Amino acid sequence: MTLLSVAEAQARVLALGQVRPEEAVPLVEAAGRWAAADVVARRDQPAADLSAMDGYALRFAEGPGPWTVGLESKAGTSLPLPLAPGEAARIFTGAPMPQGADTVLIQEDAMREGPVLRRAAAAPARPGEHVRRRGSDFTTGTRLVAAGERWTPARIALAAIGGHGRVPVRQRPRVVLLSTGDELVAPGEDTPGVALPASNAPMLHVLLAGTAARVTDGGLLPDRMDALAEGFRRAGEQADVIVTTGGVSVGDHDLVRPAFMAAGAALDFWRVAMRPGKPLMAGRLGDAVVLGLPGNPVSALVTAHLFLRPLVDHLAGCPMPLPTISRAILAAPLPVSGGRAEYVRGRMEGERVQPLRERDSAVLLATAAADVLIVRPPHASALAPGESVDIVRIA
Could you tell me if 40 and 127 lie in one domain?
Answer: no
* Confidence band for 253, pLDDT divided at 50, 70 and 90: low
Give the closest residue to 333 by CA, choosing from 354, 361, 352, 312. Answer: 354
Give the closest residue to 57 by CA, choosing from 96, 1, 27, 31. Answer: 96
Q: What does the pLDDT read at residue 2?
A: 76
d(C-alpha 75, C-alpha 390), whole Å: 53
pLDDT beyond 70 at 121: yes
Could you tell me if 207 and 335 lie in one domain?
Answer: no
Give the closest residue to 98 by CA, choosing from 135, 59, 60. Answer: 59
pLDDT beyond 60 at 130: yes
Q: Kindly list the distances between the CA atom of residue 7 and the CA atoms of 101, 270, 361, in Å, as whole numbers in the listed order.
A: 63, 14, 21
pTM score, whole prediction? 0.88
Give the closest residue to 16 by CA, choosing from 344, 291, 202, 213. Answer: 291
Could you tell me if 338 and 261 lie in one domain?
Answer: no
Could you tell me if 97 and 205 lie in one domain?
Answer: no
* Confidence band for 361, pLDDT divided at 50, 70 and 90: low
Could you tell me if 88 and 36 lie in one domain?
Answer: no
Of 102, 132, 162, which closes a domain? Answer: 132
Task: Tell me whether residue 128 is in a domain.
Answer: yes
Could you tell me if 189 and 299 lie in one domain?
Answer: yes
Q: What is the CATH number of the domain that holds 147?
A: 3.90.105.10
Count of domains forming the chain: 4
Could you tell me if 86 and 146 lie in one domain?
Answer: no
pLDDT beyond 90 at 249: no
Helix-strand-coil split of the chain, %, nearest 5: 20, 30, 45
d(C-alpha 372, C-alpha 388), whole Å: 14
pLDDT beyond 70 at 232: yes
Could you tell me if 186 and 81 lie in one domain?
Answer: no
Q: What does the pLDDT read at residue 271?
A: 93
d(C-alpha 246, C-alpha 241), whole Å: 16
Is residue 73 helix, strand or coil? strand
The residue among 63 and 92 whose pLDDT is bigger is 92
Task: Tell me whether residue 320 is in a domain.
Answer: no
**What is the percent of the chain with per-residue pLDDT over 90, rounded to a whole number?**
78
The residue among 251 and 333 whose pLDDT is bigger is 333
Q: What does the pLDDT read at residue 76?
A: 86
Q: What does the pLDDT read at residue 124?
A: 75
Q: CB neighbours of 85 closer than 8 A, spacing ≥ 6?
A: 62
Q: What does the pLDDT read at residue 250?
A: 55
Could you tell me if 190 and 294 lie in one domain?
Answer: yes
Of 270, 289, 315, which closes a domain? Answer: 315
* Confidence band for 251, pLDDT divided at 50, 70 and 90: low
Computed over every residue of the chain, the mean pLDDT equals: 93
Task: Tell me whether residue 1 is in a domain.
Answer: no
pLDDT beyond 80 at 6: yes
Q: What is the CATH number of the domain that holds 107?
A: 2.170.190.11
Task: Tell me whether residue 321 is in a domain.
Answer: no
Q: What is the CATH number of the domain that holds 359?
A: 2.40.340.10
Give the closest residue to 123 by CA, choosing from 64, 176, 172, 181. Answer: 64
Structural domain range at position 352: 326-393
Q: What is the CATH number of the domain that holds 304?
A: 3.40.980.10
Task: Tell me whether residue 256 is in a domain.
Answer: yes
Q: What is the pLDDT averaged over residues 133-157?
A: 97
Q: What does the pLDDT read at residue 43?
A: 98
Task: Tell me whether residue 74 is in a domain.
Answer: yes
- pLDDT tens readout for residues 19-66: 999 999 999 999 999 999 999 999 999 999 999 999 999 999 998 889
Q: What does the pLDDT read at residue 193?
A: 87
Q: What is the pLDDT averaged over residues 67-82?
A: 89
**What is the percent of the chain with per-residue pLDDT over 70, rounded to a whole number?**
97
Could you tell me if 307 and 357 lie in one domain?
Answer: no
Q: Kindly list the distances between the CA atom of residue 10 and the CA atoms of 64, 210, 274, 281, 307, in Å, as whole numbers in the listed order.
A: 70, 20, 12, 12, 6
Could you tell me if 156 and 262 lie in one domain?
Answer: no
Task: Tell me whether residue 388 is in a domain.
Answer: yes
Largest CA distance in the chain: 96
Task: Tell me whether residue 99 is in a domain.
Answer: yes
d(C-alpha 130, C-alpha 44), whole Å: 19
- pLDDT tens readout for residues 270-308: 999 999 999 999 999 999 999 999 988 999 999 999 999
Q: What does the pLDDT read at residue 357?
A: 81
Of 150, 170, 190, which closes a domain? Answer: 170
pLDDT beyond 60 at 166: yes
d(C-alpha 122, C-alpha 162), whole Å: 37
- What letter represents residue 213's amino acid? A
Could you tell me if 96 and 185 lie in one domain?
Answer: no
